Amino acid sequence: MSTGTGTGTGTGTGTGTGTGTGTGTGTGTDEHEARALAARVVQVGAWVETTVGALAEEVARQLSGPAPRRSDLAIEGRCRALLEQREVPLAGAGFVAETGVLHDAPYWLEWWTANPGIGIESCRRLAADTDPSSVSFRDYSELPWFVTPRETGKIQVTGPYVDYVCTDQHTLTVTQPVVVRSTFVGVVGVDLLAATVEQLLGPDLDAAAGVHVLVNRVGRVVAASDPEYVVGDLVRGLPETDWFTGRRRGREGAGAGWRFVACGQLPLAVLSRR
């Protein structure tokens, strides 16, 4: 989770649990490999969606009183447990409050981080400055991972971006709105390193005969079977049509060298070189 403005972030809503769908034609082997990768991404996405949803429900219960305060939050145990589990190793987890929701703090966040390569021994609470009068204060309420869930009421996937606050690595942040009696009170979320995604997809990527690249909605690389495609880089020469919506963004003609397989309803897709 970044509390700065950051650069090179791709955003989208929804995690989805369906199977990937594709367009275009190609060799049976390549198409099978791409669909297998997309299915694995959807599987991870479903786990993350369930995990974040459970955390949102817990925070909503804790803040359901008439005048919620910081002391009502008791999520450290759950967040530490999320950082300790190894099914999908996480780099961060926590809650970020909407401004003015807590009666004893205009801004507040509780976020724990850990290095997935080390484990729970590296867990620490993020020491974020929540005093608006402070020189080091950063208004998180203006950042995409906060704004989009607030405005859409849906899960948001932001990244990959380099998180200079928590991980110093390319990170995907998944956030979900927390709502109490129809009122938005903040977001819960988790951080997932792009390196972890690559690790989870490792067997499929290593065994692939073709070139497959997992990208976000704007074509930024999350993982790839070919070292030519580096995490965080933009894949060049993609079509001007937005493959996720079918809408044209501009002139046609680019991108003839790629096939597309969506990862369910996630703002992610597997591109395969023709």
Each residue of 65-89: pLDDT tens digit?
999 999 999 999 999 999 999 999 9
Q: Which ranges of the chain does DSSP label H, i.e. alpha helix?
A: 28-62, 76-84, 144-152, 194-200, 202-207
What is the per-residue pLDDT for 247? Answer: 63
What is the per-residue pLDDT for 269? Answer: 94
Asked if residue 263 lies in contact with residue 274, where contact means CB atoms within 8 angstroms, the answer is no
What is the per-residue pLDDT for 236? Answer: 83
3-state helix, strand, coil in the chain (%, to 5): 25, 25, 45
CA dist list (Å): 42 to 45, 46, 49, 93, 236:
5, 6, 10, 20, 25
The rounded distance, in Å, linking the Cα atoms of 141 and 145 is 9
The rounded distance, in Å, linking the Cα atoms of 109 and 130 is 8
Q: Can you name the residues that pair with 174 across neighbouring β-strands? A: 157, 190
Across the chain, mean pLDDT equals 88
Residue, of 94 and 254, whose pLDDT is higher: 94
Q: Is the pLDDT of residue 10 over 80?
A: no
* Average pLDDT of the segment spanning 251-274: 79
- The two tokens of residue 99 are 């401004």
- The two tokens of residue 175 are 């956030």
The rounded distance, in Å, linking the Cα atoms of 157 and 176 is 9
The rounded distance, in Å, linking the Cα atoms of 112 and 2 is 13
The rounded distance, in Å, linking the Cα atoms of 27 and 265 is 25
Least confident of 18-27, 105-114, 147-156, 228-237: 18-27
Instruction: Put residue 46 in one of left, alpha, beta given phi > 0 → left and psi -120 to 50 → alpha.
Output: alpha
